[in-house]
């Protein structure tokens, strides 16, 4: 009797000691299988040449990385991605900021307008890309009709990257609107009243009061935007397939193409590791 | 300098007030007009899509200006539904996005509960480890994941679309931020009453943190609905395609079917936009209450 009750209490103790971990099992299991394991496998693959099925066949050390940094195509891909990210971040933050400033003071209809400004965050990149495709169509697209031009926008290397970036900037502007709205709401209203009594115009108020007031959220927003822009894929796949030439061959698209068209999984894995290092540095910058 | 009479002062006051009122009205209408213009700009791609969706194909292919359909028609929607199994795509996406949302809410709230209410060895390290996963972009692991699931023969199934997304570091973080402000005394008294942890989670904690669940549900559902790269890689047959992949297949066919492609786009955008509009308030409150309390 005594013996069995001590056994039960021992089982109970073991259970209460392991219980906290049990709640973590679902999350840790998923992360282990679909994040940690593939992460290390990607690093592993990046040191190998693979066969068409993606099996590591020949150890080449940092050979894949060396090849990448010597290939003009990959350097171009990094350069294109950099230009793309700069344009996307500028556009999305500008749109978000304008929307947030316009909705800072309450007025009739504000709820409609703030929903409109946040709305792009609910739109899929692929759906948006298909709409843009029609808008930019050389003969029937609204853009050419409005501007009285006859340009094949997406087939022209001068415009393609900028246009994909504008689309991405539009898509990302919704969440920026929310960040900036929250940032503006935290600025004390009375400093504006005092400033206008002192005779400061709207531009000076914006430069000297609004921007500094936004600075805590500004930095965070920039980093989040850069990370998000780096990960763009659907719009490139649908609008340009990396072209014309390699004009829109962003790094994620380049990974996709190397792995699933050229079957160079080792090289694609090395590109993935480089992407990860870039994103990690950006994330660490945030803290 | 002569002193002003009372009437004169009142008169001055009234005109000043009237002027101020007029100026305020002017300011409000200027703000309103600017907003209308800017909102039109932001919504332009969507408005244009809706307009094209109702436009007969022949009308689109004219050289003249055609912002609005002259003879609105529903044929594009009918043709889109006939040309591809759009209902199937929508059903697939609802199943996938729905199960991902439910799964994330359960797995993330369980993990967040453990991190917030229980004490155990290695708690800080484990939490940091899970948060660090946010640094790994999905695109960087997608090749290995693809090789893994194809090795298992998982391609072209529901579970390959759902299972990899059944948890998220952001979700765990969001729920933990909410649980931080949950009165710990409520947990302690439940324990004294002999309530088990699991019962506490489902009977007390989850019902009392509905706003966190709402925010999380809206965010997760929209993201899952809009997923593109993973479904593109792992689905092959018509039967398994999700909306984004299914519709982009209409992209490559002849130019004549552009109007029906856009009609399809409008159909698949509607669910995510509706959910966003309905859940917007919850989403914003969830996003920022977490950030503020941090």
What is the end-to-end Cα distance of chain B in Å, rounded?
62
Is B136 an 8 Å CB contact of chain A? yes
Cross-chain residue pair B228–A109, CB shorter than 8 Å: no
Cross-chain CB nearest to B107 (options A26, A238, A283) = A26
Same structural domain, B178 and B234: yes
pLDDT, position B255 = 64
Same structural domain, B41 and B155: no
Cross-chain residue pair B166–A26, CB shorter than 8 Å: yes
In a domain, B59, yes or no: no
Q: Band the pLDDT of B290: cuts 50, 70, 90.
A: low
Most A-contacting residue of B140, B196, B253, B263 (CB-CB within 10 A), to test interface: B140
Cross-chain residue pair A122–B145, CB shorter than 8 Å: no
pLDDT, position B291 = 47
Same structural domain, B42 and B167: no
Give me the phi and psi of B155, to 5 degrees please: -60, 150
Same structural domain, B49 and B89: no
As for the ipTM of the complex, it is 0.88
Six-digit token string for B188: 């302690």
Strand partners, A58: A49
Q: Which domains does chain A have, with CATH numbers?
A: 2-63 (no CATH), 70-286 (1.10.3720.10)
Determine which helix (DSSP H) or strand (DSSP E) holds B117, and give its type and residue range. helix B86-117
Whether B179 shows a pLDDT value over 50: the answer reads: yes
Cross-chain residue pair A131–B32, CB shorter than 8 Å: no
Same structural domain, B127 and B25: no
Three-state SS annotation for chain A: CHHHHHHHHHHHHHHHHHHHHHCCHHHHHHHHHHHHHHHHHHHHHCCEEECCCCCEEEECCCHHHHHHHHCHHHHHHHHHHHHHHHHHHHHHHHHHHHHHHHCCCCCCCHHHHHHHHHHHHHCCHHHHHHHHHHHCCCCCCHHHHHHCCCCCHHHCHHHHHHHHHHHHHHHHHHHHHHHHHHHHHCCCCHHHHHHHHCCCCHHHHHHHHHHHHHHHHHHHHHHHHHHHHHCCCHHHHHHCCCCCCCCCCCHHHHHHHHHHCCCCHHHHHHHHHHHHHHHHHHHHHHC
Tell me the shortest Cα–Cα distance from A13 to chain B, in angstroms: 13
Same structural domain, B241 and B112: yes
Averaged confidence pLDDT in chain B: 88
Partners of B126 on chain A (C-beta within 8 Å) are 24, 28
In a domain, B80, yes or no: no
Quick one: average pLDDT of B67-78?
86
Cross-chain residue pair A127–B144, CB shorter than 8 Å: no
- Spatial CB neighbours of A98, under 8 Å, sequence gap ≥ 6: B38
- Report pTM: 0.89
Q: Band the pLDDT of B233: cuts 50, 70, 90.
A: very high
Partners of A107 on chain B (C-beta within 8 Å) are 28, 31-32, 35
In a domain, B61, yes or no: no
Give me the phi and psi of A46, to 5 degrees please: -70, -15
pLDDT digits (tens, 9 = 90+) for A51-103: 888 888 889 989 899 999 999 999 999 999 999 999 999 999 999 999 999 99
Minimal-distance CA residue of chain A relative to B201: A23
Residue B179 sits in a domain whose CATH number is: 1.10.3720.10
Is A277 an 8 Å CB contact of chain B? no
Cross-chain residue pair B258–A276, CB shorter than 8 Å: no
In a domain, B116, yes or no: yes
Most B-contacting residue of A48, A127, A232 (CB-CB within 10 A), to test interface: A127
Same structural domain, B41 and B183: no
pLDDT digits (tens, 9 = 90+) for A170-206: 999 999 999 999 888 888 778 887 887 887 777 888 8
Whether B44 shows a pLDDT value over 70: the answer reads: yes
Same structural domain, B158 and B28: no
Of B274, B233, B228, nearest to B93 by C-alpha is B228
In a domain, B69, yes or no: no
Same structural domain, B150 and B40: no
What is the end-to-end Cα distance of chain A in Å, rounded?
58
In a domain, B64, yes or no: no
- The one-character DSSP state at B3 is P
Q: Is B206 helix (H, G, I), strand (E, B) or coil?
A: helix
Q: What is the spatial distance between Cα B147 and Cα B215, in angstroms, rounded to a whole number?
A: 33
Cross-chain residue pair A131–B45, CB shorter than 8 Å: yes
Tell me the shortest Cα–Cα distance from B275 to chain A, in angstroms: 9
Partners of B273 on chain A (C-beta within 8 Å) are 119, 122-123
pLDDT digits (tens, 9 = 90+) for B75-109: 889 888 888 888 999 999 999 999 999 999 999 99
Whether A123 shows a pLDDT value over 80: the answer reads: yes
Tell me the shortest Cα–Cα distance from A109 to chain B, in angstroms: 8
In a domain, B94, yes or no: yes
Query: A126-130, B18-22, B264-268: which range is least confident on average?
Result: B18-22
Whether A257 shows a pLDDT value over 90: the answer reads: yes
pLDDT, position B294 = 32
Same structural domain, B15 and B114: no
pLDDT, position B248 = 82
Structural domain boundaries, residue B239: 85-293
Task: State the total domains in chain B.
Answer: 2
pLDDT, position B127 = 94
Same structural domain, B185 and B41: no
Same structural domain, B157 and B32: no
- Spatial CB neighbours of A256, under 8 Å, sequence gap ≥ 6: A233, A237, A268, B229
* Sign for the pseudo-dihedral over CA of A27, A28, A29, A32: positive
Cross-chain CB nearest to A178 (options B32, B228, B284) = B284
Q: Band the pLDDT of B292: cuts 50, 70, 90.
A: very low
Whether A42 shows a pLDDT value over 90: the answer reads: yes
pLDDT, position A4 = 64
In a domain, B117, yes or no: yes
Contact A45, B155 (CB under 8 A): no
Tell me the shortest Cα–Cα distance from B35 to chain A, in angstroms: 6
Rg (CA), chain A: 26
pLDDT, position A139 = 82
Minimal-distance CA residue of chain A relative to B167: A27
């Amino acid at each position: 009797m005594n013996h069995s009750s001590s056994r039960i209490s021992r089982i109970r103790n073991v259970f209460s000691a392991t219980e906290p971990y049990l709640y973590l099992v679902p999350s840790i299991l998923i992360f282990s299988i679909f994040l940690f394991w593939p992460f290390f496998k990607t690093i592993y693959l990046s040191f190998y040449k693979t066969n068409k099925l993606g099996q590591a066949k020949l150890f080449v050390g940092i050979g894949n990385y060396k090849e990448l940094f010597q290939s003009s195509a990959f350097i171009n891909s990094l350069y294109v991605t950099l230009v793309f990210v700069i344009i996307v971040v500028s556009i999305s933050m500008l749109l978000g900021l304008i929307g947030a400033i316009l909705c800072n003071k309450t007025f009739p209809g504000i709820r409609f307008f703030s929903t409109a400004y946040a709305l792009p965050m609910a739109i899929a990149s692929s759906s948006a890309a298909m709409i843009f495709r029609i808008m930019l169509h050389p003969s029937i697209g609204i853009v050419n009709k409005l501007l009285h031009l006859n340009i094949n926008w997406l087939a022209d290397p001068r415009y393609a990257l900028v246009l994909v970036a504008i689309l991405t900037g539009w898509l990302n502007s919704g969440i920026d609107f929310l960040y900036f709205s929250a940032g503006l709401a935290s600025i004390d209203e009375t400093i504006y009243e005092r400033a206008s009594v002192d005779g400061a115009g709207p531009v000076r108020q914006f430069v000297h009061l609004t921007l500094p007031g936004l600075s805590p959220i500004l930095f965070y927003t920039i980093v989040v935007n850069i990370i998000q822009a780096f990960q763009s894929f659907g719009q490139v796949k649908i609008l340009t397939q990396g072209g014309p030439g390699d004009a829109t061959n962003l790094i994620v698209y380049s990974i996709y193409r190397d792995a699933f068209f050229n079957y160079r999984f080792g090289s694609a894995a090395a590109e993935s590791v480089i992407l990860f290092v870039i994103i990690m540095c950006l994330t660490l910058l945030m803290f | 300098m002569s002193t002003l009479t009372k009437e004169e002062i009142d008169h001055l006051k009234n005109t000043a007030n009237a002027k101020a009122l007029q100026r305020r009205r002017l300011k409000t209408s200027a703000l309103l007009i600017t907003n209308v213009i800017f909102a039109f700009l932001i919504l332009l791609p969507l408005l244009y899509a809706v307009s094209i969706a109702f436009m007969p194909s022949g009308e689109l292919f004219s050289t003249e200006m055609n912002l609005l359909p002259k003879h609105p028609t529903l044929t594009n929607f009918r043709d889109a539904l006939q040309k591809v199994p759009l209902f199937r795509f929508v059903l697939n996406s609802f199943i996938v996005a729905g199960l991902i949302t439910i799964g994330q809410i359960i797995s993330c709230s369980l993990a967040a509960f453990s991190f917030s209410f229980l004490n155990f060895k290695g708690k800080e390290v484990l939490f940091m480890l899970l948060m660090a996963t946010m640094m790994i972009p999905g695109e960087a692991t997608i090749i290995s994941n693809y090789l893994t699931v194809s090795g298992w023969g998982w391609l072209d199934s529901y579970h390959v679309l759902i299972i990899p997304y059944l948890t998220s570091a952001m979700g765990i973080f969001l729920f933990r931020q909410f649980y931080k402000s949950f009165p710990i005394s409520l947990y302690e008294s439940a324990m004294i009453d002999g309530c088990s942890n699991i019962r506490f989670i489902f009977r007390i904690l989850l019902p009392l943190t509905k706003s966190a669940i709402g925010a999380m549900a809206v965010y997760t559902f929209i993201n899952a609905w809009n997923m593109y790269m993973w479904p593109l890689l792992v689905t092959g047959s018509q039967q398994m395609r999700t909306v984004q992949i299914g519709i982009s297949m209409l992209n490559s066919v002849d130019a004549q079917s552009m109007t029906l492609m856009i009609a399809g786009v409008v159909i698949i955008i509607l669910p995510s936009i509706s959910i966003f509009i309905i859940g917007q308030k919850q989403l914003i409150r969830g996003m920022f209450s977490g950030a503020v309390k941090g």
